[in-house]
A and B are shown apart, each in its own frame.
Chain A
Amino acid sequence: MGAYIVRRLISVIPTLIGVTIVVFLVMRLLPGDVAGMILAGDGESGSSGNMEARETLREQLGLNLPLHEQYFTWIGGLLQGDAGLSLWSGRPVLDEIGRRIPLTIELALLSIAIAMGIGLPAGMIAALKQDSWVDYALRGLSIGGLAMPPFWLGTLLMLFMVVWFNWTPPLGFVPFFTNPWMNLQQVIWPALVLGYATAAVIARMTRSTMLEVLREDYVRTARAKGLPTTTLVITHTLRNAMLPILTLAAIEFGFMLNGTVIMETIFTLPGIGRYLIDAILHRDYPVVQAIILMMAVSFVLVNLLVDLLYGVLDPRIRY
């Protein structure tokens, strides 16, 4: 078992390196002169300051160094905990990110909790009562969650609350520990939307996996033993259905990362997602790089975690 963990950990490293290379290259692909755009403010091309100012900026940003040197400088800095300075605010990137991360994490956790809490039971019930009206109702709801764009749902929800309840989006964001109640009021809405959309996917996957497992021969054997339905479901079915569902959970995490970007934008919450968009619009490249890198790395790590969990749940894989 230990050997398996070590092997998986090692195999992740080339992927992580690849990720850093991709992030680095994508940012360096930018057309036009980065320095020029920054000086011109907000990325409008046009008169872009005098040559001297541009050159100084280029020196500062290290843009005159050969590509691979820039890469290693950047990586070196990262490993020491330095992701550069934000071009927009001048403060260290990691600080800026650090201030905004708690919100995103809170939003993500809340959404996942809602998604799993609704999606898993819904999928299981739909599978057990296949082709009944319960099944059709649940499937209808989940198809809705899949097709309706989350940003539309979020927008509608916002509008609904503003128009019908005269609710105005709170102006300042209140962190959780300062005032949990107010904080939840702000975060629950995007979490609900995101949670619903994700629950839809989870429910569908759970239902189809359960159906497949219920058709397996060993479930028939368990039935032949005269075991009651609850035992049947929990011990025999769920264990085997868990595996694909877990993979799905990992994918859903990626979905979450996408979703927070949108939800934070709609509900104007100061999290990483919105920061990313702002940074892109402001051409704040160090920030963009750092955030994308962080998202990708966390996604890889989550997948790794799921892989390891696989090993725990399915004895066949260990050997």
Chain B
Amino acid sequence: MTDATASHSDAESRLTRTVRAIFTFALRKPLGAAGLVIIAIFGVLAIGAPWLAPLDPFQINPGALLAPPSPQYWLGTDEFGRDIMSRIIWGARVSMFVGLMAVAIGSTLGAVLGLVGGYLGGVVDDIIQRIVEVLLAFPMLVLALAMVAALGSSTWNVIMALAVVLAPNAARVVRSSVLTIRERPFVEAARNMGLSDRRILFRHILPNCVAPFIITATAGIGTTILSEASLSFLGLGTPPPTPSWGAMLSNNMHSYMVEAPWMALAPGIALTLVVFGFNFLGDALRDVLDPKLRAG
């Protein structure tokens, strides 16, 4: 019925097919394409920060504290006279890096757990299930807070904390996919043919879990970026002086913001746009991938 045969098609046509699929996708789902564009823009900003930022984000300019937007400082300066525009661009680095890394690590970890648990069943599955349940018992931010509080405040700690928070969801989704597929006749057939467990897992079960996994993972990116921003906002995320959009909006800034309202706008707009982008993309992906799930 589904991808048992697809995995045998040659790599060449798969590439061209993928490229064509992307184009059709862009035409059919304009929102998703818009999301992709937004993500691409911020991605470019993030990667090219050192070259794209007009000024040095760390540089203090005592002569221009809380300056309004001007040709020199496109978005004005903050309480230390640092150029906000540059800090926004560098902030993209933090958000994108942390967001994508945390989702990559967390979802993969979760997926592995889900695969193993779902396929092997029995005691192993029970244990993994329990762990997942316990982790899911904590509200996301609270768990991340606790972990960052325990581990200390650094970028990698934030990434790991967020990854741990994401893993249970991925584990659940993958596990339920595995359970559904495990019962399908073609898996039964593969087992009867004497294929090893590992072969079945990788060649037959895994490809069919990819779709729900991608959906969950992309859905998680937006939330993760917001979580990192929230942590930084509370002072428990990426440590200063690294520019983080969340930190730029933190409470300490309130008194400055009254005098310089532009400080409050840029980081929030950037965050909103990026989250929009990932959400649109995620939605579009879900629309595209989901009907196939149903038909399968």
Q: Do chains A and B touch in the complex (CB under 8 A)?
A: yes
Give the interface of A toward B (CB within 8 A).
14-15, 18-19, 21-23, 26-27, 29-31, 143-144, 146-149, 151-152, 155-156, 158-159, 162-163, 254-255, 257-258, 261-262, 265-266, 276-277, 280-281, 288, 292, 295-297, 299-300, 303
Chain B residues positioned under 8 Å from A144 (CB to CB) = 272
Chain A residues positioned under 8 Å from B236 (CB to CB) = 277, 280
B130, B137, B142, B222, most chain A CB atoms within 10 A: B137
Interface string of B172-194 (1 = CB under 8 A from A): 00000000000000000000000
Chain B residues positioned under 8 Å from A27 (CB to CB) = 146, 150
B264: min CB distance to chain A, Å: 6
Complex contact B145–A295 (CB within 8 A): no
**Interface residues of A: mostly helix, strand, loop or mixed?**
helix
> Contacting B235 at CB < 8 Å: which of A18, A162, A281, A296?
A281
Give the interface of B toward A (CB within 8 A).
130-131, 133-135, 137-142, 145-147, 149-152, 222, 226, 229-230, 233-236, 246, 249, 251, 254, 257-258, 261, 264, 267-268, 271-273, 275-276, 279
Complex contact B257–A149 (CB within 8 A): no
Complex contact A155–B272 (CB within 8 A): no
Complex contact A149–B229 (CB within 8 A): yes
A14, A21, A266, A296, most chain B CB atoms within 10 A: A296
Q: A297 to B141: give the CA distance in the assembly, Å.
A: 15
Known: A19-B137, A156-B264, A262-B233. A151 touches B249 (CB 8 A): yes
Complex contact A254–B139 (CB within 8 A): yes
Complex contact A149–B133 (CB within 8 A): no
Chain B residues positioned under 8 Å from A18 (CB to CB) = 130-131, 133-134, 137
B47: min CB distance to chain A, Å: 23
Q: A23 to B135: give the CA distance in the assembly, Å.
A: 10
> Contacting B257 at CB < 8 Å: which of A143, A159, A281, A303?
A159
Q: A266 to B233: give the CA distance in the assembly, Å.
A: 10
Chain A residues positioned under 8 Å from B230 (CB to CB) = 149, 151, 258, 262
Chain B residues positioned under 8 Å from A163 (CB to CB) = 258, 261
